[in-house]
Amino acid sequence: MEEGQIRIVVNLEEVGFLDSSGLGALVGALKRVNERGGRLVLACPEGSPLKVLTITGLDKVFAIHDSVDDALRG
């Protein structure tokens, strides 16, 4: 962000566990990116992190893609 990047893809493909600290970090980053007119998207295939995002309702807040390639195209 500090280098002028307006689109950030967070790759969660290898993440096996996501807790409230991780969710807080993602939400904080999303807020900072949005304030600067940027966009933060997640690459998160089926698995534990996606389940946590869905249960918490954050799947409605973040743009979530199956892979980094899909996120870059999206």
Domain that holds residue 61: 7-73
In this prediction, residue 74 carries a pLDDT of 77
1 lies in a domain? no
Could you give the number of structural domains in the chain? 1
17 lies in a domain? yes
36 lies in a domain? yes
In this prediction, residue 6 carries a pLDDT of 83
67 lies in a domain? yes
29 lies in a domain? yes
Q: Is the alpha carbon torsion for 48, 52, 57, 63 positive or negative?
A: negative
> Judging by beta carbons within 10 Å of its beta carbon (0-12, 13-18, 19+), is residue 12 exposed, middle or buried?
buried
27 lies in a domain? yes
Q: Which residue from 48, 47, 49, 74 is spatially nearest to 63, judged by alpha carbons?
A: 74
* Nearest-5° Cα angle at 59, 40 to 6: 5
Reported confidence tier of residue 5, pLDDT bands at 50, 70, 90: low
48 lies in a domain? yes
47 lies in a domain? yes
- Residue-wise pLDDT for 33-69, tens only, equals 999 899 999 999 999 999 999 999 999 999 999 999 9
